[in-house]
Structure 1
Amino acid sequence: MSYQLRREEVVDVAGLQAMLEESPGKAAQAILAAAGQGAVEAQLLLGQILLDGRGIEADASVARRWFGIAAQGGNAMAHNMLGRCLEHGWGGSADLSQAAIHYAQAADAGLDWGLYNLGNLFATGRGLPANQAQALMCYEKAAHMGHAKSMNLYGRYLEQGIATAPSPARAVRWYRRSAEAGDFRGMFSLGLVLVERGQVAEAAPWLEKARVEGNMNFLRAALVTLQGAGPVLMAFAARYADEIERRGA
């Protein structure tokens, strides 16, 4: 199949994404053609399917190049994805300083994921000097934009008083918003604070949902937290341990 992008045609990104679900190979051809003709949104999408290997053979190095091309076209998410490639060494050498630059470009354009990823670098001092106040600002902005992972981290800064006055009540509200938005770490954070308040019955469903939806790295870290958190949480710790064993089998 050939796919010709007419000058007056606007790339239907949603349509291409839907096509990926139904016919990945056909969609990949259409995306590749549109990207080659300069459609920035298609260039971003091409980078993503090359990274994931959806409808096309996975190639992180080529994905990284397409993210770079789309970023040159001013696409904020492309800057964010190029930053991720540079941060994690996908498709080439890792370069945290350059990753920070691209995350900042995405953040300056108002992208919640750019703010979140830039906040993580500020929080950990990777690629730029550690600055908890800057991290807090990034997480707060992204949280107010509805970014679920940032809501959880903003809640943590409020709970622990990192670069701000402690505010446990506000922290709980942000944990709840994160949990309700689907972030398993937010679910876990909410569950823990509810247990601390003696609201174990309300906490249990959130802790269980986090166990089911969380990835292995999260489960291992959560198990350590649960094992050191007192007798009330030991039953949950056992279920998390069983989940880790089940997935590792």
Structure 2
Amino acid sequence: MYDRLQANTVSWSDAEKKLLCAYLEHMEPRETIEKADSDRSPTGEDWFDWAEELVEDEPRRAFFGYVQAALLGSPMGVTEVGICLLKGRGVEQEPKAAVRWLAKMAERGDSRAQSYLGWCYAVGKGVEKDDHQAAYWHLMAAQQGIASDQFNYANCLLAGRGVEKNPRQAVEWCLKAAEQGLAPAQFLAGSCYDLGCGVAVNKAEAVRWYTLASVQGHGDAQDALGLHLELGSGVAADMNQAAYWFRKSAEQGNSEAQFHLGMCCQYGKGMPADVQEAAYWYGKSAEQGYASAQSNLGVLYETGQGVAQSYEEAYRWYAESAAQGDPDGLYNLGLCYEYGKGTEPNLAKAMDMYERAAAAGHEGARRNLGRWGKG
């Protein structure tokens, strides 16, 4: 976690010592047991090591150890005091105080402190939100090889958040993190190669990064990998494997993957057809607001496939989908209004839905408008 040779001991002003000592005043007697050594008094490093052994099971005692380490000038101890105060780990959460200690160590070059300080500025925790400061501290930590900050700085460059937008440099930093095995960075690298963002389109390379992220359980990567396997894009088409990865992602709650898995179930792609399971996955996706799934679920309710037939439920899901501008949802809702399925007939509303669907390229809507002389 730390390079023990990275810095000399930390020196304190009287005011800083007083602040650190104040944390010890609230500790119970049993939590202030000294770290005994028969030959010498414990050093800051001793206290730090002692605290590290306790941090998971006895965070309050660990915090005491970090404070003792900090008072003896341990840079690692100071950083951990800041992190504990930020997270409320073993002590009452004090974000502003946390930023004070993290900033002191970040300025001394501590990469862990820089990383946390960048996050504080990014989200406005303990300090006023400042994208420029966030990007700066993410870069400082990234330059020291912290994968999460390489990824965060890449996102800053992609979005132009706190720095000038630069997709090419973003990919360079993203790849540094991806090569360290950071799954979100691997997914982002795949997306960049997939879409040609900051780098030339390379579907095979996109698939490689999606695969590396997928085997680590990254849900978005699993869905993207499934799509490439379905389409044979950058990899040989394999519908069985596509369905496998859609399921992996869907089970993590990814709404797009749930929709894609529903399609596999409904049409028997990569698995035996099972319309009841299709309805289940469409429902999961629809409840999360995925418009295509809402429309498809509406069709199943309208036709009574995999669910009890209900025009009212069909109308409800078509309306949800249409509200998001989905062409199929608009078209199907238009049919409900035209024929009074699940709602009162309303030709004016039907024409409105058809016109909006047709404008989005829906051929069925265009034909229906033609029936009424509006094509």
Contact 2:178 2:186 in 1 (8 A): yes
Which position in structure 1 is the counterpart of 2:146? 6
* Distance in 1 between residues matched to 2:184 and 2:265, nearest whole Å: 29
Q: Verify the 8 A CA contact 1:80 1:114 in the aligned structure 2.
A: yes
How far apart are the structure 1 equivalents of 2:155 and 2:211?
Answer: 22
- Output aligned runs, 1:1-249, within 5 Å: 4=143, 5-6=145-146, 9=149, 11-12=151-152, 15=156, 17-19=158-160, 22-197=165-340, 198-214=345-361, 219-220=362-363, 222=364, 227=367, 233-236=371-374, 238=375
Q: Which amino acid aligns with 2:159?
A: A
Query: Please, which runs of 5 or more residues in structure 2 have no aligned partner?
Result: 1-138
Rounded Cα–Cα distance in structure 2 between residues aligned with 1:14 and 1:26: 10
8 Å contact kept, 2:246–2:257: yes
What's the offset of the Cα at 1:10?
A: 7.6
The one-letter code sitting in structure 1 at the alignment partner of 2:266 is: A
Distance 1:183 1:76 in 2: 24
Task: Evaluate the alpha carbon distance shift between residue 16 and residue 180 of structure 1 in structure 2; reply closer, same or farther with a 3 A threshold.
Answer: farther
Q: Secondary structure at the match of 1:11?
A: helix
Residues 158, 166 of structure 2: 8 Å contact kept: no
TM-score (norm 2): 0.56
- For 1:212, the aligned partner's letter is A
Determine the C-alpha separation between the residues in 1 that align with 2:349 and 2:277. 34
Alpha-carbon distance between aligned partners in 2 of 1:42 and 1:194, rounded to the nearest angstrom: 47
What is the DSSP-based 3-state SS (H/G/I as helix, E as strand, rest coil) of the residue aligned with 2:373? helix
CA drift of 1:211 comes to 2.0
Query: Partners in 2 of 1:22 and 1:212 — Cα distance?
Result: 34
Offset at 1:182? 3.0
CA drift at 1:157: 0.5
CA distance in 1, matches of 2:169, 2:183: 19
- Contact kept in structure 2, 1:19 and 1:27, CA below 8 Å: no
Amino acid at match of 2:359: V
Give the superposition deviation at 1:189: 1.2
- Opposite residue 66 of structure 1, the aligned amino acid is W
8 Å contact from structure 1 (residues 16, 31) kept in 2? no
Aligned mates of 2:282, 2:243 — CA distance in 1? 15
Q: Deviations over 1:93-140 (max 9, x none)?
A: 100001111111001111111111111011111111111111111101
- Kept in 1: contact 2:147–2:177 (CA 8 A): no
Tell me the distance in 2 between the aligned counterparts of 1:120 and 1:59.
27
* Higher-RCO chain (CA-CA 8 Å, sequence separation at least 6): 1
The RMSD of aligned alpha carbons is 2.5
Where is the helix percentage greater, Structure 1 or Structure 2?
Answer: 1
Please list every run of at least 4 consecutive aligned residues from structure 1 whose deviation after the TM superposition is greater than 6 angstroms: none
The structure number with the bigger radius of gyration is 2
